[in-house]
Amino acid sequence: NAGVTQTPKFQVLKTGQSMTLQCAQDMNHEYMSWYRQDPGMGLRLIHYSVGAGITDQGEVPNGYNVSRSTTEDFPLRLLSAAPSQTSVYFCASSYTSGQGRETQYFGPGTRLLVL
Amino acid sequence: GENVEQHPSTLSVQEGDSAVIKCTYSDSASNYFPWYKQELGKRPQLIIDIRSNVGEKKDQRIAVTLNKTAKHFSLHITETQPEDSAVYFCAAHTGGFKTIFGAGTRLFVKA
């Protein structure tokens, strides 16, 4: 099992450029999510998905789009990058047991710099 | 909206002492409370968790307590070691499908 994988590891963009951050998991988890991590602010939820074809907004969704066409993949799109989107982005996945949603497994992160 | 507050933001202890980190949550429907440890440049990793039907859980030197009435939960690390130095995050799974994180506590364990 590779777990949760993310690409790229590091990216530099210019203001106004678009890009897609890739996330994949091979654990057949139905729940996937995207977070951004900024110094002193912990992890903030951008978007999440409870299954293929279903997505919803988190705490800070503006400027980001997601889709979930398969159980395995959950890409995050930046439509027009801004310096305020400079951050470390983590993808995570989890499954649901009889007790409810279980803990999340995080990918290694993507470090994004927008100039 | 849903919120998780975490204190302190920085904690420095002597090796062998105990460390306590406290969190409060706002959504009374929250039912699962994980704690993550994040080392510099690495991903967050689960260290312990607790569900809303349990008041306390222990795993070797680490314990978590939950007070549902007060909406408080705490992480206790005993006999701290230098390798415990890291950033610790509390989180709460809300009544919906969101997980809200605290801002983190940077723990320094001095040898």
* pLDDT tens per residue across all 115 residues of chain A: 789 999 999 999 999 999 999 999 999 999 999 999 998 778 999 999 999 999 999 999 999 999 999 999 999 999 999 999 999 999 999 987 777 778 889 999 999 999 9
Nearest-angstrom CA–CA distance, B92 and A70: 27
Mutation test of the interface with chain B: which of A9, A106, A110, choosing the one with the most B Cβ atoms within 10 A?
A: A106
pLDDT of residue A114: 97
What is the CA B87 to chain-centroid distance, rounded?
10
Interface contact A110, partner B, CB < 8 A: no
Nearest-angstrom CA–CA distance, B49 and A38: 24
Task: Give pLDDT tens digits for A78-108.
Answer: 999 999 999 999 999 998 777 777 888 999 9
Q: Do A43 and B98 touch (CB under 8 A)?
A: no
Nearest-angstrom CA–CA distance, B54 and B63: 12
Nearest-CB residue to A41 (from B1, B43, B103)? B103
Query: Tokens for A48?
Result: 């999440």
Nearest-CB residue to A101 (from B1, B32, B89)? B32
Interface contact A56, partner B, CB < 8 A: yes
| Closest residue, chain A, to B43 (C-alpha) | A108
pLDDT of residue A2: 81
Query: Tokens for B34?
Result: 């994980």
What one-character DSSP code corresponds to residue A73?
Answer: B
Task: Give pLDDT tens digits for B53-97.
Answer: 889 999 999 999 999 999 999 999 999 999 999 999 999 998 778
Q: Are B62 and B48 in contact (CB under 8 A)?
A: yes
